Structure formats: C-alpha cells, structure tokens
Amino acid sequence: MLVWKRLFLLFLLLNLMVVPVLAAEAPFGQFAQRQQLIGYWELVPIHPDLVNNPKFNPGSSPYQWFAFYDGGQMVAIKTSDPLRRVTPKELDGILKNFPNQVSSFSFRNGFVTVSGQGTAASDELWGVNVITRKVVLGKVEFLPGDLIMSLDGGGKVISYRHLRRIFLSDYDADKSESPIKSLPVAAKDGQTISAVEREIIRALVPYFTAVSEKDATTMKKLFPELRNRSDDQLRSLPVKNYTLHGLEDVSYDGSRLRAVAIYSFEIEKPDTVGRNIVAASADVHLALKNGSWVIVGWFPRDSDMTDMEYFQNIFSRQEKAEKRYGTTDLAKWDGL
C-alpha cells in the first residue's frame, strides 16, 4: 500500500510540473532511505512560475533550513529575511539549547513522520524521494542528492518541499577541533585535493582492500551494517579486485562525510573465458564511530550494463580520476 501511495504522490508531482515523460522513462530519482535524510538542508527558492501554486509556495517564510539527526530529532528555522543565512552550527545550537523547538521524527519505507512539540501539535506524514541524476522538471533544476518531500493529506498532496543539502565551509572543516585530520595535497592535474576528500579516501581504501582479500572482520568493522551477515557469506562474495578509482561531489556537513565513489570489481565466474569487470558508482556516507570513520550508507547509482552511453560515461570518469590522482587504484595513491 505504501509503495503504491509513494508512486501516486510522485506521479502527481510529475504531472503538476508538466513533465512530458513518465517516471519509468526518466530514472532520475528513487525512494529515499533513512541515511539519505540525515543531515542539514535548505529549501530551494521557488521558481517564479510556481509562485501562485499553493503546493509549492512556502508562504510568508520562504527561507527555510532543516536538520535531521540520527537520534530522531528534527530542527527547522524559517524566516522572511532574504539576507539570513543559517549554518549547521546554528541548527545544532537549537538542538542543544532549545529543546522546546525540537521535533521528533520516525522513518519507514520512504515516509518520514514528524511529530511536533506540545499537545496541540499534530503529526505530519511526508513522502521522501531522492534525486539521483541531474534533471530539469518544469523549469526547476534538480541535482543529485536533492530531496523532494510531499506532505500527505489523506491521500492527497498538500505541499511539496525541494531541499538541497548544506555543508560546512572548508574553513570550518579544517578547524583544529574538527575530526578531519588529513591535510590538503596537490593533485596531479594541478588542482587541490581537499582535506575532506583525502580523509574519505583514507577511510575507504581499507574497506576496498578488505573486500578484495575476503577479510570479513575488517569489512564488518568498517561497514557495521554488514554485521548481520556471517563471515562465510562475506568471504563467499564472488568478487575480486575491488578497486576504488576516485571520488566526486565530496562534502562534509560537520556530521557526515559524503562522496560519490567511482569503483570497479571483477565478478568471479568459473569456466568463463575472459574477465567480467563491472564499473560502477555509488553515494557513500561515513560517520565517526569511536574515533574512526565507518561507512553508514552505500547507495549505488543507476547503472545499465547494456547501455553503451553508460559505459562511456563511467570510463570517462575513471580516466578523469586517473589524471587527478596519478593512479587507477587509490590503494596505490602516493597521497595516502
């Protein structure tokens, strides 16, 4: 029932924005998972063509910021001041110092239920979709990672929110109290590899090595979600040469490290002539646990192994990564 309801809400959104294609023909989004919701968000300014549409118009407070925390708390700041800028630190301050302004939320099957403070507050049920490919819908540009939230009102959409993740500045990320301990280094292509990018590489390379070496203990340590799998299951994965080539869209919001990982692996198929190599990409989220970065979210990007355009795109990104790092395998990168 929930799945059909989600599809119905997304269908309404597509028709409302006059998109001349069906969702199945434009795989630009998918139902969000809880870890994709966690973090800090800003409401994307409404497009002028949608100002008179009450489902998109945020009303008298069009400038809005939200934070969803792992512990199930939600904080929001809304204002009519166009010059106001809200940072993750300010949202954290509300969580810490003003408990009466903190809501709670629960997440299930792509829906988030937000419960406000006080006896008069009513619950809100929001459907959540995450954008996986850049797309323009009804003159509105949606970027990978954006959220489309639709407020449910008994099977009808009351309003929509288009949210975009906000991050700490490089200055904030490099402060002495920051958990980011890596330093920026020069890239081989003349650019700079930021401290955050280097930190993510250092955190991910041991995981890729563990998968290649069938090291189940290390795999579970670095990706705790795998602890519900037996060691034998992990060791029997029919893959080898699990290789991290590069990162894209690197960010840090004070809580999570995020990046798109470009990687490949070889599928082990006995009695097969040649090599079966899969090239892929995924949104990867890391969080600090007991002083070490661990993987808390792994969301594969859409891939079509029969589409030549897909292969051209992914191989082009691998080549770009090689020029940036000077190697095709970040386990051999001299910046580790």
Nearest Cα residue to 174 out of 196, 153, 148: 196
Q: Could you tell me if residue 18 is inside a domain?
A: no
Would 326 be classed as within a structural domain?
yes
Residue 172 lies in a domain: no
Of 114, 137, 165, the position where a domain reaches its end is: 165
Query: Among 262, 258, 264, 278, which residue's Cα sits nearest to residue 324?
Result: 262
Assess whether 65 and 189 both reside in one domain: no
**How many domains does one find in the chain?**
2
> Rounded to an integer, what distance in angstroms lies between the CA atom of residue 42 and that of residue 304?
32
Is residue 44 in a domain? yes
CA pair distance 202, 16, nearest whole angstrom:
45
Q: Is residue 5 part of a domain?
A: no
In this predicted structure, what is the pLDDT of residue 15? 36
H/E segment holding residue 200? helix 195-212
Range of the domain at 210: 185-332
- Report the pLDDT averaged over residues 42-70: 87
Phi (first) and psi of residue 218, to 5 degrees: -70, -35
Share of the chain above pLDDT 90, in %: 30
Q: Is the dihedral of CA 38, 166, 168, 201 positive or negative?
A: positive
Examine the domain organization and report whether 56 and 133 are in the same domain.
Answer: yes
- pLDDT one-digit tens code per residue, 297-315: 888 876 665 667 777 888 8
Residue 328 token pair: 């095709």
pLDDT digits (tens, 9 = 90+) for 131-160: 887 888 777 888 888 898 988 887 788 888
Report d(CA 149, CA 3) in Å as an integer: 15
| CATH at 94 | 2.40.128
177-184: long-range pairs with CB below 8 Å, 24+: 179/288, 180/252
Among 14-18, 48-52, 138-142, 226-230, name the most confident range.
226-230
Using the structure block, give the residue that is written with the tokens 């490089």.
Answer: 170
Can you give 120-189 as a three-state secondary structure string? CCCCEEEEEEEECCCEEECCEEECCCCEEEEEECCCCEEEEEEEEECCCCHHHHCCCCCCCCCCCEECCC
Cα separation, 199 vs 193, in Å, equals 10
- How much is the pLDDT for 309? 78
Winning range, highest mean pLDDT, from 14-18, 35-39, 134-138? 35-39
pLDDT computed for residue 304 by the predictor: 61
Q: Could you tell me which of 86, 247, 253 has the C-alpha nearest to residue 170?
A: 253
Residues 159 and 200 in one domain: no
Check whether 11 has a pLDDT greater than 70. Answer: no
| Three-state SS letters, 251-299 | EECCCEEEEEEEEEEEECCCCCCCCEEEEEEEEEEEEEECCEEEEEEEE
122 in Cβ contact with 151 (< 8 Å): no
- DSSP string computed for 10-74: HHHHHHHTT-SS-GGG---EEE--HHHH-EEEEEPPPPGGGTT-TTT--TT--EEEEEE-TTSEE
Can you tell me the distance from the alpha carbon of 167 to that of 256, in angstroms, rounded to the nearest whole number? 10
**CATH number of the CATH domain containing 207:** 3.10.450.50
In a domain, 103, yes or no: yes
